[in-house]
Amino acid sequence: MSEFWYYAGPLLAGALIGLVFFESLWLTIRRLPHVRRPGLAVLASFGLRMLFLAAALYWVIDGDWRRAPLAVVGLLLVRALLVRLHSVAQPTGAPMR
């Protein structure tokens, strides 16, 4: 495997993991008003997302600690992008809720 893909792979995989993780969080938040037991929905979603995150990062890191920060950077880059995409535009000077 080339040196480039050895380090670019975890970055891209982390981005994909982040996309799944944060989009499932967004879906959970959007569905909360419509579920009968929102506390259970949040808890179940959290558990499943954490299980997915831990398993996916374990697979991506593959025993090399140098791949871990790259995967986390990819995950956080997608988080920043999704926050921008999903945020509601606030008028200038309006207080955040």
Range of the domain at 34: 7-83
User: Would residue 65 count as lying in a domain?
Assistant: yes
Q: Tokens 């959007």 identify what position?
A: 30
**Would residue 27 count as lying in a domain?**
yes
Q: Tell me the pLDDT tens digit for each residue of 40-63.
A: 999 999 999 999 999 999 999 988
The predicted-structure confidence for 80-96, as pLDDT tens digits, reads as follows 999 999 887 555 655 65
Residue 92 lies in a domain: no
What pLDDT sits at residue 60? 94
| 43: amino acid identity, one letter | L
User: What is the pLDDT, as a whole number, of residue 94?
Assistant: 56
Residue 91 falls inside a structural domain: no
CB 67 within 8 A of CB 60: yes
Instruction: Tell whether 89 is covered by a domain.
Output: no
Report if residue 28 sits inside a domain: yes
> CA 31 → CA 19, 25, 47, 70, distances in Å?
18, 10, 17, 32
| pLDDT digit string, tens, across residues 17-38 | 999 999 999 999 999 999 999 9
- Check residue 49 and give its pLDDT: 97
Quote the number of domains for the chain. Answer: 1
CA–CA distance, 7 with 11 (Å, rounded to integer): 7
